[in-house]
Amino acid sequence: MPSNDNHGAASPLLPTGNSHHDGEHHDEGESGRSGFHPSHFLAVLWRSSCTASMLVNFLWPVVPVALVLQFLPGLHLWKFVTAYVAVVPTANLLGFSGQEFARKMPKVAGILIETTFGSVIEIILFSVLIAKHEVPDQGEERGNGDEGNLIPIIQAAILGSILTNLLLCLGLCFFAGGLRQASQKFHPIVSEVGTGLLLVAAFGLLIPSAFYSALKAEVVHVPGLKVLHDTFTEGKLQGDVLRISQATSVALMVAFALYIWYQASSHHGIFDEVIEQDEHADADRDADMEKNKFTMTEALVAIAISLVLVTILLICLVEKIEYVVESGVPDQFLGLILLPLVEKAAEHLTAIDEAWDGVINVALYHCLGPSIQTALFNAPFVVLLGWFLGKPMDLNFEIFMVVLLVLSILVVGNFLRDGESNWLEGALLVVVYVIIAIACWYYPNPDVATSNGVETVDVQMSKEMLQQLRQLLSAQAIE
């Protein structure tokens, strides 16, 4: 097990060279300053973590435009579009400031912290969506696609976040790294632990859907009547699925805690070694060392500013979702494609830049890590939050989305099996993602699609048979 040298708590997160002590350069993560300096803060913020991330800063003028538009009447689609675009630079700031904060921590702990900051936007989005979800009044029946019912969009966003990381982000990382090097090799422990946890998470996420699909046929609809199998009513089935989802969420969060403990303690040395190997392979190691960095105070200020702006913009975004759906954008496309793209944009840019620089293990970590956190923590969190708020958020996904998740994990697992990547594998993963996006555009909204709903069976009978059935039911009621 490798030692942590003499870096201690200041071990670098991302690839660096040897420590410099010449008065001009400092260990990565160390700014050589303290406190808050406005000019220094803006200069570091503008340069950001990489060229792609710096170019995102040109979108900052959209942020005040999006905020001002919210006070004007009408213009619902424009409000959604501007808020959608404005989330990108604010999310980029949160990701960058989280990265600067993580650089001051031990290597593995730093990556976990950085991944967590990348998922904060997702947690905020899910929380805003479940808070805005409207529960129907007692006795009122409402289909999945009705106005105010945001649970189908939350469910699509959960799986969409996982698919975006596994297919789009990982594919672009493989593609970008493959353009610079014929092939890139990564450590088996990163891929094995990642794909293993994803399979466990997929199992947990899909159990409620499988349970519902296996028992939904117990409810049969007859013209003018609803015949239920003994006491196993539709309401009881939905209640059981909700309770299974809540219990499963607790189990998945326990699995996430075990995953964190595994990385932070028992195999800390192995992960340190993996990251250390990437440090020596980083093409921009010296340039990263020479960059100005946030002080701890500046990093915390940037995190606070970005959190406030992201929260406000996401609230504005969610408020206009119903107008976007009414304009013709399907629920599944909105949740599975559009929302994950914007909330993961900054994190994806960082991962792609790392792959381009040859830091493939850290890039892979940034693709698999957020997917694992979404499946094992963020999704269970929103279920438990809905439980706390009295809103029936469950894990009863559409069968269509279930199939997409399972197939995607199998495809990614197959590409990771040999411990080596190239640009062709990356391009194929992106192609798979594009195919999914096309299918989602044509997939009907949940009020039309009934793959995970109670199916209606039309039964034809004569008038005499219907009268006999009514008499039989009346006799049973009297008894």
pLDDT in tens, 81-120: 999 999 999 988 888 887 777 777 665 566 667 667 767 8
Mean of pLDDT values over 247-267? 81
Q: What would the two tokens of residue 391 be?
A: 């809103």
Residues 6 or more apart whose CB falls under 8 angstroms from that of 299 comprise: 97, 100, 101, 104
- Which pLDDT tens digit goes with each residue over 397-431? 888 888 888 888 888 888 888 778 888 999 999 99
Mean of pLDDT values over 11-30? 42
Q: pLDDT band for 189, please (50, 70, 90 cuts).
A: confident
Using CA of residue 402, residue 404, residue 407, residue 413, what is the dihedral sign? negative
- Which pLDDT tens digit goes with each residue over 194-204? 777 788 888 88
- Which pLDDT tens digit goes with each residue over 174-188? 998 888 887 788 777
Q: What would the two tokens of residue 314 be?
A: 């996401």
pLDDT at 18 over 50: no
Residue 111 pLDDT: 63
Residue 65 pLDDT: 93
Do the bridges between strand 219-222 and strand 225-228 make them parallel or antiparallel, or are there none, so unpaired? Answer: antiparallel
Least confident of 207-211, 223-227, 265-269, 380-384: 223-227
pLDDT at 370 over 90: no
Residues 6 or more apart whose CB falls under 8 angstroms from that of 403 comprise: none
The DSSP 8-state label assigned to residue 184 in this structure reads E
Mean of pLDDT values over 279-290? 59
Q: pLDDT band for 250, please (50, 70, 90 cuts).
A: very high
Residue 273 pLDDT: 64
- If one compares 365 and 217, the residue with the highest pLDDT of the two is 365
Q: Under a CB-based contact definition with an 8 Å cutoff, are residues 213 and 399 in contact? A: yes
pLDDT at 452 over 80: no
* Helices 76-103, 107-132: inter-axial angle, 10-degree rounding: 160
Residues 6 or more apart whose CB falls under 8 angstroms from that of 165 comprise: 344, 367, 368, 370, 371, 374
- Which pLDDT tens digit goes with each residue over 332-348? 888 899 999 888 887 78
